[in-house]
Structure 1
Amino acid sequence: MGPFILALSVIEAKLNKGLQKRRKRSSTRICSEGAKDFSSAGSSEAATEAGNGTCHDPESAHRCRGECADLRTEIAIVLDGSGSIEAEDFIWAKEFIYNVMKAFYEKCFECVFALVQYGNIIWTEFDLREGKVANGALEKVQAVKQVYNVTRTASAIQHVLDSIFNESCGSQKNASKKIIVLTDGETFLDTLDLKTVISSERMAGIDRYAIGVSSRLHEDLVCFSI
């Protein structure tokens, strides 16, 4: 099993685990709230059904879902396009991103993606609004061109906090948020410190994963994924 296939399996497993937990919590809250709605309407039978997870009343279930269910998962992928990434590794990284997104688009209707590339510039390839449309987002992944130059990993992650996980850019306040960074490791010529960025209050509650592009595993990767 190649390193990218193995990494894909690990990322899928971890994301799936998080989604299952979130769905379970939301399902419990939906049906609990639904039972209260039915009970207050004087229907003990309907309340029992709601408590058992079969909330049949459309109006009550719809209202409850709007109030209780926050299943949306926002996944920001951060791609190192610096000069230290070999062309072959960059292609592999794009294939990895494509496969992760395709897998989750097919089975996770609550998942939305954004893609940021960094090098001499930090560039939003597509944001969460564009990432809702599977075919369009996957085409954008295939069209990504490497930007080269320096490795500003910390600044790229800060960009995600400022410009991706931002309500004016399509993010939702109560959504589960995850960052996946693909890099060859060591930050180079970055004005921001990686440890400072990932220990900031704005990173609280955000799950983060690091994928090594090449055989090297630098301390920065380990630091980010803890």
Structure 2
Amino acid sequence: MDVFRLQLTVLLLLGGHMVSGVTVQECRRRPADLVFLLDGSGSIEPQDFTKAKSFVSDIIRKFEISSRAVHVGLIRFDSEAVVLIRLNEFRSAAQLLQKISQMKNFGGKTNTGSALQLAGTVLTDHRFGARDNVEKIVIVLTDGRSNKGVDVGVAAMSLKSKGVAPVIAVGVGGKINRAELQLIASS
């Protein structure tokens, strides 16, 4: 699937999930906490990491980033999961895009389970900027080849049980584990 069609699919999924019977413009500014989980492990080739960053940036450009609309957080994971952007850290797309452009992948193992757990914390803990009564959305960009840490299936179920929906899994690179991506994603 080419990048444009994938971005369009994500936008439609997000918009369709948030509300029905509204315009795309209304979906762009509907309050939501959106957290990206970006795989920066050794199994992600540098050019694929760059494509994943571009994908994240393109999605951010599609939404109104402001104190009353969409808030964006970002977790990069490899052997460890780290919050690089808290939900309350930036109030403009330009600031977010600058931070994302500077991100590097460091290699190491793929600890997707810990990233999913951390996303659950970020989306429910006010210290990370989580808001009450807004949509909670996670987009995971990975090859689906976890090899360290918490069981991915258990972590994904825990995240979904916290009311996070949708959870969207996007395959990155040429060696994708589709079964794990399906395990991560909402139905």
Normalised TM-score (structure 1): 0.72
C-alpha distance in structure 2 between counterparts of 1:220 and 1:98, whole Å: 24
Mapping of 1:89-168 within 5 angstroms?
89-105=48-64, 110-168=69-127
Q: Percent identity?
A: 24
Q: Does 1:195 align with 2:153?
A: yes
Task: Provide structure 2 residue ranges, at least 5 long, that are not aligned to the other structure.
Answer: 24-29
Task: Name the counterpart of 2:27.
Answer: none
Mapping of 1:21-36 within 5 angstroms?
21=20
Task: Name the counterpart of 1:84.
Answer: 43
Higher relative contact order (CA 8 A, sep 6+): 2
Measured against aligned partners, the alpha-carbon deviations of 1:81-135 in whole angstroms (never above 9, x if no partner) come to 000000100000000000000111379x621110110013322111101143221
State which structure, 1 or 2, has the greater radius of gyration over its C-alpha atoms. Answer: 1
Q: Does 1:224 align with 2:179?
A: no
C-alpha distance in structure 1 between counterparts of 2:78 and 2:19, whole Å: 35
Change (3 A) 1:201 1:212: closer
Secondary structure, counterpart of 1:83 in structure 2 = coil
Cα offset for 1:18? 2.4
Task: Name the counterpart of 2:26.
Answer: none
Cα offset for 1:177? 0.2
**RMSD of Structure 2 on Structure 1 (CA):** 2.3
Q: Does 1:184 align with 2:183?
A: no
Task: Provide structure 1 residue ranges, at least 5 long, that are not aligned to the other structure.
Answer: 25-70
Secondary structure, counterpart of 1:199 in structure 2 = helix
Normalised TM-score (structure 2): 0.85
In proportion to residue count, which structure has more helix?
Answer: 1
| Runs (4+) off by over 6 Å | none
Cα offset for 1:195? 1.1
Change (3 A) 1:164 1:148: farther
Secondary structure, counterpart of 1:182 in structure 2 = strand
